[in-house]
Amino acid sequence: MRQWHFLQFSLHPRHLESISAIIAEMGTRGIHEQPLNSGEVLLKAYFDPSSDIGRAHSHFRARCQAAAVPLSGCATGIEIERDWLKEWRRNLKPFPVGARFRIIPGRPVSGSAVRDRIPIWLEPRMAFGTGTHESTQLCLEVLETLPLTGRSVLDIGTGSGILAIASAKLGAEPVLACDIDPVAIQVARANCFRNRVDRRIRLFTGEVEALADRGYDVILANLEGKLIREKLNDFGQRLNPRGQLVLSGLLQPDAADLCRSANVQALPLTLLQDLAKGEWRCLVFTTKTHGTA
């Protein structure tokens, strides 16, 4: 019978998404999540038996330390194969986001119509974007207020595809989504199919600079602060007049820095909204028109 190496630890749920992203980068084959009575969550991340789990352990602890995420009882072990992925799915429950969306882990089953909200069926697997992270939720909350019917959307760093799928379900067309991670693109493709928007969303692996086309009505970028600052000029140049540029994944200092940055001043952009959730901020810019400061 097959054996798996695993890393096991518990942490506060607010760190779940950032830690899952680190573990995904390390090449985990799956994560099992279990809420504890203490309010913490116990995570078990599985790795191939051929992996150097001792090294992975040291690397992981260093990454958590750098990200200032406290862990309890981080240990490694070996486990005989069982269907952890099935169990992991079973632990996830549908949840609402914003006023209009419901995120539903798994796939639609016949007779399970969702009438009160727009359903987004997701199987994030190794990609970021379960809908539980504040930075994703802020984007979804902005999206549901935008006029999207027939407008073009560019989703940079699509992860599980969640924002591209939400845009398509709100009527956006065409929708283009990219990610540097080929696994994320595979996952996003499966999720687009699951939500029956695969014909309306074009996915590609790579950075936005590889795109020849410009002129999007809405650009979404839930990335990391430094990366957004570096790419802001490019994003601004791809935005149509009166378009919206939605920047998320920003911590307070990043957001302040971005607003002050010479880039923003030099670009024909003006700040429309500044939203916060927990420690995360989301900035919405539009292109300046005559008479706008």
Ligand X SMILES: C[S@@+](CC[C@H](N)C(=O)[O-])C[C@H]1O[C@@H](n2cnc3c(N)ncnc32)[C@H](O)[C@@H]1O
Which residues are at the interface with ligand X (CB under 6 A)? 127-129, 136, 139, 156-159, 162-163, 178-181, 184, 207-208, 222-223, 227, 249
Coil, strand, or helix at residue 235?
helix
CA 263 to chain centre: 25
Nearer to ligand X, 136 or 152 (CB): 136
Nearer to ligand X, 71 or 127 (CB): 127
Query: What sign for the dihedral angle of Cα 77, 1, 48, 128?
Result: negative
Return the structure tokens found at 14: 């607010």
Provide the minimum distance between the beta carbon of 130 and ligand X in the complex, in angstroms, as a whole number.
8
Nearer to ligand X, 4 or 154 (CB): 154
Nearer to ligand X, 82 or 214 (CB): 214
CB-based closest residue to ligand X: 157
Strands 3-11 and 280-287: unpaired
Provide the minimum distance between the beta carbon of 177 and ligand X in the complex, in angstroms, as a whole number.
8
Nearer to ligand X, 152 or 160 (CB): 160
* Region label for 278, one of left (φ > 0), alpha (ψ between -120 and 50) or beta (otherwise): left
Provide the minimum distance between the beta carbon of 135 and ligand X in the complex, in angstroms, as a whole number.
6
Provide the minimum distance between the beta carbon of 127 and ligand X in the complex, in angstroms, as a whole number.
6
* Rounded Cα–Cα distance for residues 277 and 267 (Å): 27
Contact 107, 121 (CB under 8 A): yes
Q: What are phi and psi of 25, to 5 degrees?
A: -60, -30
Provide the minimum distance between the beta carbon of 220 and ligand X in the complex, in angstroms, as a whole number.
7
Residues 6+ apart with CB under 8 A from 273: 142, 282, 283, 284
Provide the minimum distance between the beta carbon of 270 and ligand X in the complex, in angstroms, as a whole number.
23
In 3-state terms, the chain is what percent helix, strand and coil (to 5)? 35, 30, 35
Nearer to ligand X, 225 or 243 (CB): 225
Nearer to ligand X, 6 or 126 (CB): 126
* Rounded Cα–Cα distance for residues 233 and 84 (Å): 44
Strand partners, 168: none
Provide the minimum distance between the beta carbon of 76 and ligand X in the complex, in angstroms, as a whole number.
26
**3-state helix/strand/coil string of 166-195:** HHHHCCCCCEEEEECCHHHHHHHHHHHHHC
